[in-house]
């Protein structure tokens, strides 16, 4: 796997070197001995611009290395050349990094670009919708937040932690709207998923202290 990551990281330079090697062989011998060098070199160069190095971001995100992830994203100079589903993931990841840096305006802009292109999986689209909803809540735009989070729930979310987070956000929105019965229903759904993320667990504990006392 490490070797494959090294290939992804340096495939543009390897591809250029192979093409140059092909030209040298072509000049000193003939086209056909140079053809394999041309062929592999062109595939590597096209792969660099068509697929990008997004695979390299995973290890940075898992380690919480935002700077490393941003560096990989910044190495993509022509995102418009990326294969459409990969371009969508690129903008979504740009949005995620912006959110980690508390750049909510930049995050919203990137997330919208990703959603407009269409996500490769419905669950991924749902997760992006949830993040858009959370961004709207940061701006206190509860109407837009509710719209995004309801869409996220309808489209499906990748795991129970995201589902629990979505239901908790809906619980908060319903309480702000004084729709207490709906708030309690969303709270029960969130708790029933038994999330383990510390932040979500803490939110459930905090809400549980007073939700039983509200009407509805």
| Phi then psi dihedrals of residue 140, to 5 deg | 65, 25
Residues 60 and 68: beta-carbon distance below 8 Å: yes
Residues 149 and 170: beta-carbon distance below 8 Å: yes
> Model's pTM, two decimal places?
0.80
* CB neighbour list of residue 45: distance below 8 Å, 6 or more residues apart: 11, 12, 15, 16, 19
Please name which of 166, 150, 169, 148 lies closest in space to residue 158, comparing C-alpha atoms: 166
Q: Which two tokens stand for residue 171?
A: 């619980």
What DSSP designation does 80 have?
G
For helices 160-176 and 198-211, what crossing angle results, to 10°? 40
Sign of CA pseudo-dihedral 88, 91, 97, 99: negative
* CA pair distance 93, 81, nearest whole angstrom: 17
Hey, where are the domains in the chain? 1-51, 59-120, 135-216
State the pLDDT at residue 104.
86
Domain 135-216 architecture: Alpha Horseshoe (1.25)
Please name which of 168, 179, 178, 173 lies closest in space to residue 205, comparing C-alpha atoms: 168
Q: What is the mean pLDDT of each run of 10 residues along the chain (216 residues)?
A: 84 96 95 96 96 87 83 93 93 89 89 86 84 91 95 93 96 94 95 93 91 78
CA angle, residues 77, 80, 83, in degrees to nearest 5: 110
State the pLDDT at residue 59.
80
State the pLDDT at residue 216.
63
Residues 44 and 19: beta-carbon distance below 8 Å: no
- Structure-token match 């039983």, residue found: 212
Neighbours of 160 (CB within 10 A): 16
CA angle, residues 108, 110, 146, in degrees to nearest 5: 35
* CA pair distance 38, 167, nearest whole angstrom: 54
State the pLDDT at residue 61.
76
CA angle, residues 144, 101, 146, in degrees to nearest 5: 15
């Amino acid at each position: 796997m490490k070797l494959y990551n090294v290939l992804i990281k340096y495939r543009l330079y390897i591809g250029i070197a192979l093409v140059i090697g092909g030209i040298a062989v072509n000049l000193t011998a003939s086209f056909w001995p140079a053809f394999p060098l041309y062929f592999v070199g062109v595939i590597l160069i096209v792969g660099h611009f068509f697929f990008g190095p997004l695979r390299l971001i995973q290890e940075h995100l898992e380690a919480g290395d935002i700077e490393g992830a941003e560096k990989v994203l910044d190495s993509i100079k022509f995102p418009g050349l990326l294969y459409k589903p990969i371009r969508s993931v690129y903008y979504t990841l740009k949005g995620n990094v912006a959110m980690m840096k508390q750049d909510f305006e930049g995050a919203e802009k990137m997330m919208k670009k990703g959603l407009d292109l269409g996500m490769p999986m419905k669950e991924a689209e749902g997760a992006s919708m949830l993040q858009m909803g959370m961004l709207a809540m940061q701006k206190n735009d509860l109407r837009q937040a509710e719209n995004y989070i309801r869409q996220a729930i309808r489209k499906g979310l990748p795991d129970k932690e995201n589902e629990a987070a979505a239901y908790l956000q809906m619980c908060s929105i319903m309480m702000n709207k004084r729709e207490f019965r709906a708030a309690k229903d969303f709270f029960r759904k969130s708790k029933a998923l038994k999330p383990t993320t510390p932040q979500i667990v803490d939110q459930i504990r905090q809400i549980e202290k007073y939700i039983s006392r509200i009407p509805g």
